[in-house]
Amino acid sequence: MSSTKYKIRKGDEVIVLTGKDKGKSGEITEMLVSKERAVVQGINLVKRHTKQTQTSEGGIITKEASIHISNLALKDPKTGKATKVGYKMNKDGSKTRVSRSSGEAI
């Protein structure tokens, strides 16, 4: 497996492009880089039947499942629509992420 660098990161606000949650948005809570997937808050909810243990109660628990990164797009901070990510070099030599559609810093 290759270590790929993604343009979206943990804490970014993203929009779902395809699937049952198309059009919904949420914040990335966890990145699974080796599987090319991300867990987004409130997106791709699944029900798990769990057995009771000493620490947790059993029953049907609803939680977020991971979604493939190709099905996510960064949410533009200015317009609120899906956008691509670009990079801009600062005068001090550091790079910042910018929205391709509005040019706003992310």
Average pLDDT, rounded, for the chain: 92
How many whole angstroms from its chain centre is CA 44? 11
Specify the amino acid at residue 94.
S
In the block, residue with structure tokens 């628990």: 61
User: In this structure, what are the phi and psi dihedrals at residue 15, rounded to the nearest 5 degrees?
Assistant: -120, 140
Q: Residue 20, CB half-sphere, CA atoms under 13 Å: how many?
A: 7
B/e letters for 18-38, b = 16+ CB within 10 Å, e = fewer, are: eeebeeebbebeebeeeeebb
**β pairing state of 85-89 and 37-40:** unpaired
Q: Tell me the average pLDDT across 57-84.
A: 94
Q: Tell me the average pLDDT across 56-60.
A: 91
Domains of the chain: 13-75 (2.30.30.30)
pTM comes to: 0.82
Q: How many angstroms separate the CA atoms of 81 and 91, rounded?
A: 29
20 in helix, strand or coil?
coil
pLDDT digits (tens, 9 = 90+) for 18-27: 999 999 999 9
pLDDT (0 to 100) of residue 27: 97
pLDDT digits (tens, 9 = 90+) for 1-40: 456 788 999 999 999 999 999 999 999 999 999 999 999 9
